[in-house]
Amino acid sequence: MKMILIICASCAVIYGVALAIATFSNAKKTQKPFLNHLAKFTVSGHRGASVEAPGNTMDAFRLCHEIDPGSLFECDVWESSDGVVMISHDGDLSICTNGKGNIGDFPLGELKKLDAGYNISFDGGAIYPFRGKGYVLATLEELLAAYPRKLLSIDIKYHAPVFAKKVVALVQKYHAEEYVVIGSFSDSVLSMIRREYPSLCSSFGVHDVIVFMLLQKIGLARLYAPAGDVIMVSEFSNTNYPEDSHGAHRQGFRIITERFIRDAHGMGVPVFAWTINRADNMKRLYGWGIDGIVTDNPRLLKQTVPGNN
């Protein structure tokens, strides 16, 4: 009996807190210009077309644009030792390149000498298809200069607010503010972006997604007006296996459901799923009403989703 009372009391507290959050957050937000550029469904290249060229290289982004001129580029950024904003998913150079150490330990000139496809393999190391092909690391400025009016999701991996300001300064230099959405796993970086650059679009942080899902559980999701503008999230909580593996892996709990998408739409927030590389999952998510899919294989997505080929 005591345990039942504790559970009931806990539920009441959670409900009260969530209701307070929803009530005080339910303020009208001005729609960011970025959202006006989204199509009904958007193909997004995860680091470009990263099954056809090393991810986060200019070659991968060029291929993605050729596959779908209306696509969204997804990229990640770090800082070099001489303060250049580099495009790379990992700070550890050995993961993809023939370098050793961290991006932040080397200047641009040294980073440009590396083979950006050296350590990329899709079959556990039997074949390295991009090795020795002349692929080089890219900078954010190179990408913005080449595609200033391209939809672009920038994930800030180096979690320093001063670095985030440098990223925004480049976006502003190329007048790309209305084409860019900023994301980060750092709540402090996202808070700074939203506070100091209110017209910029930002994606949900981890905290934002958790609050949204808790409010979903008690039926209050549509009352929530979060600080973020776009949800970009994996299907499952185990991000090592982000898309539905149909039982092949332990994936944690499911994040994206048809209701998740519907409730997000109820508060005016589009949803992008990452990283989806199976055609069956692409079709299912599209059928659920997803707004965009982030994939390593934009060519397959373009061929798979109705109306996008």
pLDDT in tens, 240-288: 889 888 888 899 999 999 999 999 999 999 999 999 999 999 999 999 9
pLDDT value for 25: 52
The DSSP bridge partners found for residue 203 are 230
| Domain boundary assignment for the chain | 2-53+62-86+140-304
List the CATH code of the domain at 2-53+62-86+140-304.
3.20.20.190
Residue 22 has pLDDT above 50, yes or no: no
Strands 201-202 and 180-183: parallel
pLDDT value for 207: 93
Confidence of residue 60 (pLDDT cuts 50, 70, 90): very high
Q: What is the pLDDT of residues 159-172, one digit of tens each?
A: 999 999 999 999 99
The pTM (predicted TM-score) of the whole model is 0.90
Q: What is the pLDDT of residues 190-245, one digit of tens each?
A: 999 999 999 999 999 999 999 999 999 999 998 898 999 999 999 999 988 898 88
Q: Kindly write down the DSSP assignment for every residue of the chain, as one continuous string.
A: -HHHHHHHHHHHHHHHHHHHHHHHH----PPPHHHHT--SSEEEEETTTTTTS-TTSHHHHHHHHHH-TT-EEEEEEEE-TTS-EEE-S-SBGGGTSS--SBGGGS-HHHHTTS-TTTT--SSTTS--TTTTS----EEHHHHHHH-TTSEEEEEE-S--HHHHHHHHHHHHHTT-GGGEEEE-S-HHHHHHHHHH-TTSEEB--HHHHHHHHHHHHTT-GGG---S-SBEEEESBS-TTS-S--TTSS---SB---HHHHHHHHHTT--EEEE----HHHHHHHHHHT-SEEEES-HHHHHHHSTT--
Residue 5 has pLDDT above 70, yes or no: no
Measure the CA–CA gap between 291 and 232, rounded to whole angstroms: 10
Residue 28 has pLDDT above 80, yes or no: no
Please indicate whether residue 85 or residue 22 has the higher confidence score (pLDDT). 85
Residue 70 has pLDDT above 90, yes or no: yes
Residue 11 has pLDDT above 60, yes or no: no
Mean pLDDT of the residues in the chain: 92
Q: What percent of the chain has pLDDT over 70?
A: 90
Q: What is the pLDDT of residues 121-130, one digit of tens each?
A: 999 999 999 9
